[in-house]
Amino acid sequence: MWQFNLTVNSVFAFSGTQNAQANLSGLGWRIIVPGAPDGVTNVHVVLSNAAANGRRVNAFIDGAGRIVSAMLA
């Protein structure tokens, strides 16, 4: 389900794995869906950019509460 106009409070990534997470306003900490390393990196870059520059994001959250994709709002 798409969630719109979210603030990214902080991000986290662990080197060498597909473990990346973001703290989104109203949703708390959510993991970025692992699978394709480039996909995890790309979503993490968008979320990091939003956190660093005070931008908001629209994010697709799957049924398990994980971030599938994100775009700057």
pLDDT value of position 9: 98
d(CA 38, CA 24): 21
Task: Let me know: does 3 contact 27? Beta carbons within 8 Å.
Answer: yes
d(CA 70, CA 73): 9
Q: Mind listing the pLDDT tens digit for each residue in 14-33?
A: 987 889 999 999 999 999 99
Q: Mind listing the pLDDT tens digit for each residue in 35-72?
A: 888 899 999 999 999 999 999 999 999 999 999 999 99
Residue 13's domain comprises 2-72
Q: 3: pLDDT confidence band, cut at 50, 70 and 90?
A: very high
pTM surpassing 0.85? Answer: yes
The domain tally of the chain equals: 1
Instruction: Say which CATH number the domain at 27 has.
Output: 2.40.50
